[in-house]
Amino acid sequence: MGLSMGVLQAQQHLSIPYSRFGWGEMQPRTSAAVRGMGRTAYAYADAICVNASNPASYIRFDSLSSVIDAAFSFQSHVLYENSARQSGSTAFMDYLYIGLPVTSHWSTAFGLQPFSVVNYNYSRTEEPCTRHDQGTGGTYELFWGNAWEISHYFSVGLQASYLFGTGNRLHELLFDDNSYINVKTEDISRVRGLLLNTGLQAWIPIGKKKLGLAAVYSPSIPALLRVEHQVNRVSYQLSGSSESPIDTLAWSASDKEVSKQRLTNPTVLGCGISLAEEEHFWTGFDFTWTGWSGFSNGTSDSLRDACRVSWGARLIPQINSSRYWKKMSYTFGLFYERDYVVLPMQEMWRNGLTVGISFPMRKSKTRVSAYAEFGNYRGAGNSGIREQYTTLTLQVQLHEKWYQRRKLD
């Protein structure tokens, strides 16, 4: 089914037309530190970064310190379709993470972050009626992850997430002729359940540098996720500016057979490779495959498998320099993604670049960072609705000693 912006209205929030498919608009779900490197994260680990993309990275936390990682973002975008144009913006909190060591060979982390967002509002005319679609809501993720050091150069991680959220999708058929009956259908969906994510990292010394190899896997386990749909249908005619209901049917999947449908989440496979020199530079590549063709949430969406490639780099000119700018961290990244949305005769693609800068605090590993992402989301040949967006992110990484044994004379 094609989408059209139809009648444009001024909006101060983001309208995301393609968020009507699947989970909605998927969120980054990782630290802003790796978002500044094109979200290249699988083979990255740092003492003050809660890298939720690969739980095996948590083993790099300092043995006597805790990490609090939080980020806030401002996003603006412009939607284009032929000569039509619509813009919007929003500000939001990205996430809150906490990481800390348990033993010298075991670290843990937990956090809260948005998983997906649903927010669209568009109309299209198909004689003799106008179709109006509107959706709001989203899903959140509360996770707990652990990493274990198998050897000095190898670690594994396991992360369990609890997903919860509500989505409200409205579909209307509107007729200008009062001899026709208008139809309004509202679908309220509630998601609850667990999601698992595993990862591993291996580091191979090459002189002063290290070669990093990593892999992540998130299985599809339908038994762990449930979705409940409540559908309300109303038939009505317009009487002036008011609606005159003709028939109302409220259907709630409340009997035991269909009250809670199993939700099949997509399988995720990812791998990464990197080259790094401690406290000087890091660069790496990631590849991610997501099996959206196996996704099912009780709707008729037709989705395809998605894949993503990215490159990222981080540079600290001279960590021990007396000049402050040489102690700062600079990040760069590129990404290219084939999206899971399927439209007739149209493939959807996303690409962009990221830059960032990180400011170290004196006599501390605490950092304050700023990142920017510039991206495009479009169909092949720039068909359909095109999106250009800019996301500005402010990140604070607090590094605090939480236990230290006193030395006795």
Q: What is the pLDDT of residue 7?
A: 35
What global pTM score does this model have? Answer: 0.87
The pLDDT score that the predictor gives to residue 303 is 86
Q: What is the pLDDT along the chain (409 residues), one digit of tens a residue?
A: 444 444 333 333 567 888 888 888 999 999 999 999 999 999 999 999 999 999 999 999 988 889 999 999 999 989 888 778 888 888 999 999 999 999 999 999 999 999 999 998 887 777 778 888 889 999 999 999 999 999 989 999 999 999 999 999 888 888 777 767 788 888 888 899 999 999 999 999 999 999 999 999 999 988 788 888 777 777 766 665 566 666 555 444 433 333 467 888 899 999 999 999 988 999 999 999 999 988 887 666 778 999 999 999 999 999 888 889 999 999 999 999 999 987 766 788 999 999 999 999 887 889 999 999 999 998 876 667 889 999 999 999 998 876 555 454 4
Q: Which of 280, 209, 215 is nearest to 43 (CA)?
A: 215
Distance (Å, rounded) from C-alpha 121 to C-alpha 123? 7
| pLDDT score at 176 | 74
Taking the C-alpha atoms of residue 143 and residue 98, their distance in angstroms, rounded to an integer, is 11
What is the per-residue pLDDT for 405? 54
Distance, CA of 79 to chain centre: 20
Buried-state track 295-322, b at ≥16 Cβ within 10 A, e below 16 = bbbbeebebbebebbbbbbbebeeeeee
For residue 10, what pLDDT is reported?
33
Backbone torsions φ then ψ of 142, nearest 5 degrees:
-110, 115
Task: For residue 33, give the DSSP letter.
Answer: H
Domains of the chain plus CATH, in order, are 17-401 (2.40.160.60)
Q: What is the per-residue DSSP string for 337-371? A: EEEEEEETTEEEEEEEEEEEEEEEPTTSS-EEEEE
pLDDT of the residue at 256: 32
Please, are residues 194 and 178 in contact by the beta-carbon 8 Å criterion? no
Q: What is the pLDDT of residues 312-359, one digit of tens each?
A: 999 999 988 888 999 999 999 999 999 998 776 678 899 999 999 999
- Residue corresponding to tokens 């179709």: 131
pLDDT of residue 237: 67
- Report the sign of the C-alpha dihedral through residues 53, 58, 60, 62, in that order: positive
pLDDT of residue 400: 80
Hey, what are 406's tokens? 């006193």
Region of residue 22 (left: phi > 0; alpha: psi -120 to 50; beta: else): left
In whole angstroms, give the CA distance from residue 217 to residue 219: 6
C-alpha to C-alpha distance for 331 and 345, rounded to whole angstroms: 37
What's the pLDDT score for residue 82?
A: 79
- Give me the count of residues in the chain: 409
